[in-house]
Amino acid sequence: MTHLEKITEENFVDAFNLKLAPEQERFVSHPIRSLAQAYVYRQQCQPFGIYEDDTMVGYVMVVYDYDIPEYDIWHMMIDVSSQGLGYGRAALDQVLAYIKTKPFGASDRVVLTCNKDNTRAMDLYRRKGFVPTGAVFEDEVELVLTLRQ
C-alpha cells in the first residue's frame, strides 16, 4: 500500500538513492537539494518519502508560504524503476489529505510548478484539479488547486 513517511535520519539516505531517467532530470530537483532546502525552511515544511509497503519509491516536500499564505508542493518525483504504477497519483492524494489538516497554517490554496515538457506529471496534476495560473518561470508552469473540505 502506498503511503507517506516523514524523512528522518533513518531514511534520508534512501531518498538520496532515488533516480530519475536521464531525460527527466531537468524536470525536478534531486532529493539531496530538496532536503537542503527543507533544512533551511524547517519551520514551514515537511519532506516525505513515498513508500510502497516498506520500500521508498519516491519523494515529495510540502512547504507553507506564510507570506501568501498557501501550501506548495515541491520536488515530487517517483524513482525511474517505480514509474507508471500509480504511486504518483496515490502520493498526491495523500499529500493533499495532509495539507487539508493545515499542519502549518490556514489556507486552502495549493500551488506547484511543473516543467512544461513533463506531460505525464502535467496530466496527473490537471486530473487532480490543478489549473494553470498563467505564471511561467523559465520552463516551469505554475498550477493551483483550491481544496474543498
User: How far apart are the C-alpha atoms of 34 and 120, rounded to whole Å?
Assistant: 21
The CATH code of the domain that includes 13 is 3.40.630.30
pLDDT digits (tens, 9 = 90+) for 32-55: 888 999 999 999 999 999 999 999
pLDDT digits (tens, 9 = 90+) for 103-147: 999 999 999 999 999 999 999 999 999 999 999 999 999 999 999
Tell me how far apart the terminal alpha carbons of the chain are, to the nearest angstrom: 24
pLDDT digits (tens, 9 = 90+) for 52-68: 999 999 999 999 999 99
Is residue 121 a part of any domain in this protein? no
Is residue 118 a part of any domain in this protein? no
Q: What percent of the chain has pLDDT over 90?
A: 88
Q: In what order do the strands lie in the sheet with 55-65?
A: 2-6, 45-52, 55-65, 70-78, 109-115, 140-146, 131-137
Q: Structurally, how many domains does the chain consist of?
A: 1
**Bridge partner list, 50:** 4, 58
Range of the domain at 20: 2-107
Angstrom distances, CA of residue 14 to CA of 64, 68, 145: 24, 33, 30
Is residue 61 a part of any domain in this protein? yes
pTM of this structure: 0.94
Is residue 72 a part of any domain in this protein? yes
Residue 149 pLDDT = 64
Is residue 131 a part of any domain in this protein? no
Is residue 134 a part of any domain in this protein? no
Is residue 135 a part of any domain in this protein? no
Is residue 147 a part of any domain in this protein? no
Residue 31 pLDDT = 87
